[in-house]
Homo-oligomer: A and B are copies of this chain.
Amino acid sequence: MQVGFIGLGIMGQPMAANLIKAGFTLTVFDRDEARAVPLVEMGAQAGASPAAVAGASEMVVTMLPETPHVEAVLFGENGVAQALEPGSVFIDMSTISPSATVEFAGRLRERSVELLDAPVSGGQPGAKAGRLSIMVGGDRAAYDRALPLFQAMGNNVVYTGPNGYGQKTKLVNQIVGSLNLLAMVEGVRVASAAGLDLKLTLQAVAGGAAGSWMWSNLGPRVAEQDYRPGFMIRHHAKDLRLTVQLLEELGIAAPGAELCHRLFQEAMQKGFGELGNQGLIKLWW
């Protein structure tokens, strides 16, 4: 199958690579042309624009930072929407606004193109290993057609409901993940201040009721003061802005999520945006 892939960053690059390995024929695009090179070496075509990618593909995947990037790639100059054939499927795996997702889906449906919102969790390790969680919203028949792509990128693919439900599930995921991350950061800080051996503490806590992906995957990085990004603070802060918007729409208070939102805003103001999200600890350390 001819598949387009737009957005070849920390996550998009390994996800596209897994599609190639699974036998899909890829046309790829990123504003930064250099990012396409490793994929072209694996056999992908480089598209000249989002429209060129769409013209060569039955399905187009995007993995972009924020809502406006997805809107621009879809409906901007040389955008995807104008070039997609009726009956094709647009799969947005970015984490963006659920309500914007519903609006984009409506505009595409006028052109007989189905949109699937399919944000992911599992970080760069999950993207590389093809072991992402993928939370899909949209038309069920389009989901069934896209399933082989999802299975090449993830091992926990969940159909959550109509358009926007994938994004809402992802925001729930980000509430949980943000607090688990804060848990890890505070645990490591207190262990260090209390004079405990960090390696032993990481081992002891990992195996009990306080165990988590964040503790096992990012705890060891923090212990070595390794702040290279698997997922950048500025993207995490954006997800928390979307979360707070959702909380406002729903009219419910969530003190933990709101605390995480404030702390990530503070981390942005202090210039930590390009660090990995484990760099949240630098607010105190």
Kindly list chain B residues whose C-beta atoms are within 8 Å of the C-beta of A196. 160-161, 165, 168-169, 172
Counting chain B CB atoms within 10 Å of each CB, the highest count among A135, A203, A204, A212 belongs to A204
Contact with B along A80-121 (1 / 0, CB 8 A): 000000000000000000000000000000000000000011
From B133, B159, B208, B211, give the contact of A208 (CB < 8 A): B133
Kindly list chain B residues whose C-beta atoms are within 8 Å of the C-beta of A252. 189-190, 193, 284
Query: How far does the Cβ of A5 sit from chain B's closest Cβ, in whole Å?
Result: 20
CB of A135 within 8 A of CB of B179, answer no
CB of A257 within 8 A of CB of B186, answer yes
What are 13 A-B residue pairs whose CB atoms fall within 8 Å in the complex?
A121-B207, A122-B207, A122-B208, A126-B209, A156-B203, A158-B203, A160-B204, A169-B201, A175-B186, A177-B183, A182-B256, A186-B257, A259-B259
CB of B212 within 8 A of CB of A176, answer yes
Please report which residues of chain A, range 168-188, place their CB below 8 angstroms from some CB of chain B when the two chains form the complex. 168-169, 171-180, 182-184, 186-187
Kindly list chain B residues whose C-beta atoms are within 8 Å of the C-beta of A284. 252-253
Q: Is the interface of A mostly helix, strand, loop or mixed?
A: helix
Q: Which of A29-37, A45-53, A144-152, A213-221 contacts B (4 or more CB under 8 A)?
A: A213-221
CB of B180 within 8 A of CB of A121, answer no
Interface size for A (C-beta < 8 A) is: 69
From B172, B180, B190, give the contact of A254 (CB < 8 A): B190
Asked whether A180 and B126 contact (CB < 8 A) given A172-B196, A172-B201, A254-B186, the answer is no
Kindly list chain B residues whose C-beta atoms are within 8 Å of the C-beta of A217. 209
Flag whether A191 is at the interface (Cβ < 8 A): yes
Flag whether A141 is at the interface (Cβ < 8 A): no
CB of A204 within 8 A of CB of B246, answer no
Kindly list chain B residues whose C-beta atoms are within 8 Å of the C-beta of A203. 156, 158
CB of A208 within 8 A of CB of B160, answer no
Flag whether A1 is at the interface (Cβ < 8 A): no
CB of B160 within 8 A of CB of A205, answer no
Give CA–CA (A184, B211) in the complex, Å.
Answer: 13
